Structure 1
Amino acid sequence: MADNHKVWVEKYRPKKLSEIVGQDNIVERLQTFVEKESLPHLLFAGPPGNGKTTAALCVAKELFGEGWRQNFLELNASDERGIDTVRTRIKDYARTRPVGDVPYKLIYLDESDALTSQAQHALRRTMEMYSETCRFILACNYSSKIIEPIQSRCAVFRFRRLAEEDVAEVLERIADEENLDLKEDGIEAIIYVSEGDMRRAINVLQAASSLKGEIDEDVIYEVSATASPGEVKEMMKLALEGNFEKSRKKLTDLLIDQGLAGDDILQQIHREIFDLDIPEPMKVKLIDRVGEFDFRLVEGANDRIQLEAALAHLARLGNRMRS
């Protein structure tokens, strides 16, 4: 496939550890391991889209050079999560000798927190038995779902969400490479939508680039199926000011005309509460109720009814403020 037709997440994935942004402490420690060719089992934990898979690939490329693919096995544990995978495919690969000068191979288990407890216990023994010929890199969103015996066998690296300036730096570099007219408000909108997830930020930028030549915040919110913060804030302010019917019409526009999901709108309401010009105790009450509405939606309640109830609660709080 031509380079121009690649998914940008892959096209602009860092090739070396030093190119990874926003994880300086982790990069420094990994580079020390690679330089000494002394790699323990590793556990990468953190939210999605912040460099865990990229770091594992960079470690493999810098350790093995051109022959890295022969010494690197990547598995997604959410697809192959049972004990049979550990006993057959992983065990068979771990027991074979590596190709080249490095005395071990790498097995990368993405989403390893999806492994069943039984599979994790089998993996623990495999990690122990074949440590001379194989090293494991486990990546997960929640390290608490990895059993303690595996955690104790690994050097744990906790990846943090990427800072806004790190996301902006990468977006500007891609825009320069692709000759995109990326506006400042477009960058801010991508940062708002992605919430520190670099993979999502780059995917949104690629989608927006195929829609219009000039990429501003309107294009970003359109391609990402996200309401602009201004619209959500206006809906909430209308409710607080006592204009419940206007607020409700705004909600209908978001749900029906723009086709947004109820839980996505509720999450944006949660984010905008902190920027409302209301007393702190009232923000506390709102956050408490938003948590309750979120639980109801997860349990299968009707989106529209729950969101209208949230607006009604805002209207009642507004009436108390004015009285």
Structure 2
Amino acid sequence: MDDADCHLARRALPLLETEVLRTFVTIAESGSFTRAAQQLFRTPSALSMQIKRMEEMLGQALFIREARHVSLTGEGELLLGYARQLLKINAEAVGRFRAPALEGRVRFGATDDVVERVLSSVLAHFSRTFPAVEMDVSVATSATLLPRFDAGELDLVLITRGRLDLNGRGEIVHSEPLVWAGRDGGVAGQRSPLPLALAQPGCPWRAMALDALDRTGWRYRIVYSCDHCAGQRAAMLADLAVAPFPESLVRPPLKRLDDAGLPELGAYQLVLMKRPNGGAMEDALAAQVMAAFRGR
């Protein structure tokens, strides 16, 4: 290498890594390192280190860090536009070479708590990677999705394992504590009988909550019934009730009611099931779902 080549090598600009750009965009869109870490299945400290290294590389502060929220600096706003473009181009490039191998239709069912956490990002990534594959998505309760899967109406389902008879089928892709949650500063958790916001009968969260309360002799009444997480969240935000909720979905102004003396609920699992004779499309979608929960 001659002197001119050495000079050019020394002047070469560093490259922005796709993984770090994805982290940056997720933090910017969620407004929190903690929420971004939950979505990316990393620790907040790991994300903080990634952003710190990128800020040092660019020589610019990208976020204004406050107690419970982060916002973009002017330089961060500018980078956000570039980051989104780069991630889109990367996905299109990968999809251009991988997509021709897969085409057809895949039918996927999931519960709404999965939709809130990872489904939108998984489906967006899948559709960019395999644009020739048509997606039919059904969002319903586990008790509704399982019979449809068994009847051959769905190719894959991601459901909550509870009292459903799975006969050993499926693969556990996620497990986390189910906790009692309510409004921060609210009084619903102090009332007697305890006001509950629950899904309809058949929901594993409902069964776990009622079993725990009945086992300990806790007095309660069901004041709000809804099959969607958003409905339970609304009841808690209004301080009408408390609810059993996945730990990762308890976000301000909601909080865990660890000091209310309520009985432990234990952990619950999400199970991915796909047809035994499924093809490459089902395998590809299953792989992306598992990657979203388990990290890359």
Instruction: Place the TM-score, normalised by the shorter chain, in its bin.
Output: under 0.3
**If the length of structure 2 is used for normalisation, what is the TM-score?**
0.27
Q: Which has the larger radius of gyration?
A: 1
